[in-house]
Amino acid sequence: MFGFTLDNKTEEIIAYIDEVKNIEGSGGIMCRSIRLINIDRVSNLIWAIENSAKTSENNGFICFLDDEKSIVTRTFIGKIKIIKVKKNTVTLTGQVWCHPKGFHKAWKMKLNNEIAKKNTWKTFEKSELQGWLVYALSISRINEIKKDISLQIDGNEFHNLDSFFCMLGEEIHGPAGYFGRSIYAMYDCLRGDFGVESISELTWHNHQKSKKLFKTKFDEIIQIFEEYNIKIILN
According to the 3-state scheme, what is the secondary structure of 11-50? CCCCEEEEEEECCCECCEEEEEEEEEEEECCHHHHHHHHH
Q: Is 95 helix (H, G, I), strand (E, B) or coil?
A: strand
Q: Is 115 helix (H, G, I), strand (E, B) or coil?
A: coil
Q: Report d(CA 139, CA 54) in Å as an integer.
A: 37
Closest CA to 170 of 182, 155, 153: 153
Query: So what's the pLDDT on residue 5?
Result: 95
Please say whether the beta carbons of 45 and 39 come within 8 A: yes
Q: What is the pTM of this model?
A: 0.92
Q: Report d(CA 77, CA 97) in Å as an integer.
A: 6
Please say whether the beta carbons of 64 and 74 come within 8 A: yes
Closest CA to 85 of 125, 35, 139: 35
pLDDT averaged over consecutive 10-residue blocks of the chain (235 residues)? 90 94 89 96 92 82 95 95 95 95 97 95 97 96 90 96 97 96 94 91 97 96 95 96
Q: Report d(CA 141, CA 177) in Å as an integer.
A: 9
Query: So what's the pLDDT on residue 26?
Result: 83
Query: So what's the pLDDT on residue 27?
Result: 72
Query: What pairs with residue 192 in β-bridges?
Result: none
